[in-house]
A and B are shown apart, each in its own frame.
Chain A
Amino acid sequence: MKILIIEDETGLRESIEAYFTGGDSVCETAGDFTSALAKVSVYRYDCIILDLTLPHGNGLDIIKHLKNNQHNDGVLIVSAKNSLDDRLTGLDLGADDYLTKPFHLSELKSRVTAIVRRRSFNGNSLLKFNELSIDLDAKTVAVNGNFVKFTRKEYSLLLYFIANKGKVVSKNAIAEHLWGDSIDIADNFDFIYSHIKNIRKKLVEAGAHDYIQAAYGMGYKFTEA
């Protein structure tokens, strides 16, 4: 997939670029409003990661530009402004999703993947990955055609892993993805371990490859093979 990263903060832009580049993804970047506008005027992207506060302009105007020219690029707004107004305006203008800073790169990747998937499937909601097939509408998982019963959280976690395949996903990122801000209650991450253990067990028992590997005690990695 082809991604455009519009973000004025160099450090963040580079991290996102590094995380997204590789596999089947190509990344382009823009650090200010003018260069961003120039890029979206000429090229088409599967998803644009858009920071709203930009030098020389407002990110919302980029979305307006896209809509005015009937460009159907996916847009994920990334902003430090967690204001409801911006969120609503952005989504009203046609942005696909909204993520507030700070975020984990894995969360960003999972959101972007979801947007691209929604846009490219054209009504076909079946996601296939080797022997796994996931129905994104019915939220069901099947291994070699046999359904495996997943809880809501396990299903969400599996999608999260597939979106971040080949990457080490930190336990913190997983915890925040599943439980949001209330995660600080937990004395430890033991229940993440039990979730992962359940997913692995269910997949392996259904005849799938054991894709999820623990990584240095800091997180987990969904490996391709």
Chain B
Amino acid sequence: MKLLNKYNRINIAATIGIMLVTGIIYYYAISHILTKRIDKDLVLEENEVFNYVSLNHKLPDVYESNHQQITFLPLGKHVIKRRFLDTVYKEVDEDDMEAGRALISSVKVGGQSYRILVAQSKVETEYLIKIIFQITICVIFVLLVLLTVLNRVILKSIWQPFYKVLAQLKDFSLADKAIVNSTPSGIDEFKELDQAVITMAGRVKTDYQNLKAFTENASHELLTPISVINSKLDTLLQTDEFTDRQSKLLNDIYGTVARLTRLNKSMLLLAKIENGLIGGDEQVDVKAILEECLYQQEEIIHSKNITLETTLGEMQVSASRLLMEVLLNNLISNAIRHNYSGGEITITLQPRQLTISNTGKNTFDIEQVLKRFHKSNESEGTGLGLTICKKICDNYGFALQYNFANEKHLFSISF
């Protein structure tokens, strides 16, 4: 639920609640005041009766008025208590009953007690209350509408900085070079939030940069010792006769050093792509690179008895030549590596689209494979090949897609 809706809901409920309670209190208060006024009128009438009796020593004539009626009843021996009461009032010339208020009192005229009943209609009062109640309801309604609209407008404008900060957080990307901009606001809480977000984003980015720099430096520093091992091995090879056992050991060391080198170079390349250190975009002939890759690897394709089928159209793309070579080389290497003896590779280059498909046994989860150092059990690769491909594609805005159908892996790049 949106903040505004939640706020409005609470607000409306509270307003209605308070209005209802005050309405009831209001009703009773007004009703009480008006009843008191009627009671006063009744007492006035009673007093007039008393005055008349004390002057004339007889009961006054009973007269009819529109809103007041007075009746006398002779009382026996018993005494009645003077009291006010709500009653029903019947207008003289009308049939309908109205709410009324009455005063019962007693008076003595020449030793005979009389009961006095003064009654007055409450119609006016009720009418007044009704009007007041209606006005109150109207006010409540207008107030609610006004409050809702006002809240909406105020909240929207007051919360503007918050939404701006939120939008920036949503767009926040570690790899992105763009920094989080300050969102000016006159409200302390939002200022604090803004500051906190900027500080956090800055710290996270610095940490990430440091980590990336570390990866790059570490890979870099490793290159020199690997070079030394490599050169020492080459030197050792020149020294003397070797037994079969020694040869085998040396071969294993060579292989391992080569693997270490590849791994290191891949890590370095990945770090460089991520740090945006490889520039030098130029018009690259994709077809030519593909043909060169295939020429380079023709013996390997041949040695696995793989049937190669290519349909290569002309295509140019603006990118770094080095990265395009790495991208296409990796994809073709994968198509060879994850193939079986006697399998097939089909490469189609159309304008803006390259598809490389190869026969293979098992499908795989592309999301998993794109993670670093993920590789299948039988793979001899570094586990970074596809990660690098993905990074290169992301770098240039190419879409890299993967499908597995009919025992065929299919990678496609939309340029």
A→B interface (CB under 8 Å):
9, 11-12, 15-16, 18-19, 80-84, 88, 101-106, 152, 167-168, 170-173, 176, 179-187, 190-191, 194-195, 215-219
**A16–B227 Cα gap in the complex (Å)?**
11
Across the interface, B322 reaches (CB within 8 A) one of A81, A84, A184, namely A84
Across the interface, A81 reaches (CB within 8 A) one of B220, B278, B297, namely B220
Tell whether A182 pairs with B333 under 8 Å between CB atoms, given A12-B231, A18-B235. yes
**Chain A, residue nearest B250 (CB):** A218
Stretch at the interface among B79-87, B181-189, B260-268: B260-268
Contacts of B381 in A (CB 8 A): 184
A15 touching B220 by the CB < 8 A rule?
no
Q: List 7 A-B contacts (CB under 8 A).
A: A12-B227, A15-B234, A19-B234, A102-B223, A104-B230, A104-B234, A179-B297
Tell whether A80 pairs with B224 under 8 Å between CB atoms, given A170-B254, A185-B300, A216-B241. yes
B247 touching A217 by the CB < 8 A rule?
yes
Contacts of A183 in B (CB 8 A): 258
B242 touching A216 by the CB < 8 A rule?
yes
B265 touching A181 by the CB < 8 A rule?
yes
B255 on the interface (CB 8 Å rule)?
Answer: yes
A172 touching B255 by the CB < 8 A rule?
yes
**A81–B277 Cα gap in the complex (Å)?**
12
B234 touching A106 by the CB < 8 A rule?
yes
Tell whether A9 pairs with B224 under 8 Å between CB atoms, given A84-B280, A167-B238. yes
User: Could you tell me the distance in whole angstroms from the C-beta of A84 to the nearest C-beta in chain B?
Assistant: 5
Further 15 A-B residue pairs, CB within 8 A, beyond A15-B231, A101-B224: A9-B228, A12-B227, A12-B228, A80-B227, A83-B272, A84-B320, A88-B280, A102-B231, A105-B234, A106-B234, A172-B258, A191-B299, A216-B247, A218-B237, A218-B242
**Chain A, residue nearest B235 (CB):** A15
Q: Is the interface of B mostly helix, strand, loop or mixed?
A: helix
User: Could you tell me the distance in whole angstroms from the C-beta of B236 to the nearest C-beta in chain A?
Assistant: 9
B78 on the interface (CB 8 Å rule)?
Answer: no
Contacts of A101 in B (CB 8 A): 223-224, 226-227
Tell whether A185 pairs with B297 under 8 Å between CB atoms, given A19-B238, A83-B277, A218-B250. yes
Tell whether A191 pairs with B241 under 8 Å between CB atoms, given A18-B235, A101-B227, A184-B259. no
B233 on the interface (CB 8 Å rule)?
Answer: yes
Contacts of A185 in B (CB 8 A): 297, 300, 333, 336-337, 380
Contacts of B261 in A (CB 8 A): 102
A103 touching B262 by the CB < 8 A rule?
no
Bitwise, B41-77 to A at CB < 8 A (1) or not (0) is: 0000000000000000000000000000000000000
Across the interface, A82 reaches (CB within 8 A) one of B234, B246, B268, namely B268
B276 on the interface (CB 8 Å rule)?
Answer: no
B337 touching A15 by the CB < 8 A rule?
no
Contacts of A16 in B (CB 8 A): 231
Q: Is the interface of A mostly helix, strand, loop or mixed?
A: helix
A176 touching B258 by the CB < 8 A rule?
yes
Across the interface, A11 reaches (CB within 8 A) one of B232, B241, B280, B337, namely B232
Contacts of A84 in B (CB 8 A): 278-280, 320, 322
User: Could you tell me the distance in whole angstroms from the C-beta of A141 to the nearest C-beta in chain B?
Assistant: 20
User: Could you tell me the distance in whole angstroms from the C-beta of B344 to the nearest C-beta in chain A?
Assistant: 16
Contacts of A182 in B (CB 8 A): 293, 296-297, 300, 329, 332-333
B300 touching A179 by the CB < 8 A rule?
yes
Contacts of B224 in A (CB 8 A): 9, 12, 80, 101
A102 touching B230 by the CB < 8 A rule?
yes
Contacts of A9 in B (CB 8 A): 224, 227-228
A218 touching B247 by the CB < 8 A rule?
yes
User: Could you tell me the distance in whole angstroms from the C-beta of B26 to the nearest C-beta in chain A?
Assistant: 83
Contacts of B257 in A (CB 8 A): 102
User: Could you tell me the distance in whole angstroms from the C-beta of A11 to the nearest C-beta in chain B?
Assistant: 4
User: Could you tell me the distance in whole angstroms from the C-beta of B114 to the nearest C-beta in chain A?
Assistant: 122
B300 touching A11 by the CB < 8 A rule?
no
Across the interface, A172 reaches (CB within 8 A) one of B223, B254, B299, B333, namely B254
Contacts of B255 in A (CB 8 A): 172
Contacts of B93 in A (CB 8 A): none
B227 touching A105 by the CB < 8 A rule?
no
User: Could you tell me the distance in whole angstroms from the C-beta of B237 to the nearest C-beta in chain A?
Assistant: 5
**Chain A, residue nearest B226 (CB):** A102
**Chain B, residue nearest A106 (CB):** B234
**A101–B268 Cα gap in the complex (Å)?**
12
B303 on the interface (CB 8 Å rule)?
Answer: yes
B244 on the interface (CB 8 Å rule)?
Answer: yes
Contacts of B299 in A (CB 8 A): 179, 191, 194-195
A103 touching B380 by the CB < 8 A rule?
no
In order of increasing CB-CB distance, the 3 nearest A-B pairs are A15-B231, A102-B227, A11-B228
A170 touching B233 by the CB < 8 A rule?
yes
Tell whether A168 pairs with B238 under 8 Å between CB atoms, given A80-B220, A102-B261, A181-B265. yes
Contacts of A181 in B (CB 8 A): 262, 265, 329
Contacts of B241 in A (CB 8 A): 216
A173 touching B234 by the CB < 8 A rule?
yes
Contacts of A171 in B (CB 8 A): 251, 254
Q: Which parts of B205-241 form the interface with A (CB within 8 Å)?
A: 220, 223-224, 226-235, 237-238, 241
**Chain B, residue nearest A81 (CB):** B220
A11 touching B231 by the CB < 8 A rule?
yes
